[in-house]
Amino acid sequence: MRYHNITKDDMLNGEGLRVVLWVSGCDHGCKGCHNPITWDPNGGVPFDATAQKELFEALRQDYISGITFSGGDPLFMGNREEVTRLAKQFKKRFPEKSTWLYTGYRWEEISALPVMEYIDVLVDGRFVEDLKNPKLHWKGSSNQRIIDVQKSIKTSSLYLYQAE
């Protein structure tokens, strides 16, 4: 897997103060995407042991609420295995912190993926420029949903996330 950046102390991509891993690779090609530089799966740099150390070092800070996977698309085929591994490792190390994931896929397409076991909140759906609304919290367009993944898995029903 490749990535573009690790953002520390982020307040825009999930609840609380977060660390965001911006992965490379996305095949959705959403018009008006705020981050098209991350679309190329060969862009950025390899996510290696040094990058993982940097990521987990930032995550261990007490004031960090959790990790957010974004990009690109963390569920781009070339990212799924590594993102699943990282999400699993994160949950094992920091069970009290939350995991958010942004994807252009819809919940109905990806709910059975193994990574969902480790995701707390999913922001799903492609960005649609005609539905863009800067007043929306944690999403760019009104078609996107903020899903409470664990509650949805347990009940086999779709639950939208409610901030605590």
Angle at alpha carbon of residue 143, lines to 31 and 135, rounded to 5°: 85
Check if the beta carbon of residue 118 is closer than 8 Å to that of residue 88: yes
Q: What is the pLDDT of residues 79-106, one digit of tens each?
A: 999 999 999 999 999 999 999 999 999 9
Task: Name residue, tokens 């994160």.
Answer: 90
Check if the beta carbon of residue 127 is closer than 8 Å to that of residue 103: no
Q: What is the pLDDT of residues 13-58, one digit of tens each?
A: 999 999 999 999 999 999 999 899 999 999 999 999 999 999 999 9
Helix (H, G, I), strand (E, B) or coil at 150: helix
Burial class of residue 127, CB neighbours in 10 A (0-12, 13-18, 19+): buried
Give 164's pLDDT tier (boundaries 50, 70, 90): low
**Residue 117 amino acid letter:** E
Structure tokens at 38: 């991350």
- What is the rounded distance in angstroms from the CA atom of residue 92 to the CA atom of residue 34? 32
Stated pTM of the model: 0.96
Check if the beta carbon of residue 123 is closer than 8 Å to that of residue 102: yes
Task: Name residue, tokens 């261990």.
Answer: 60
CATH code for the structural domain at 2-155: 3.20.20.70
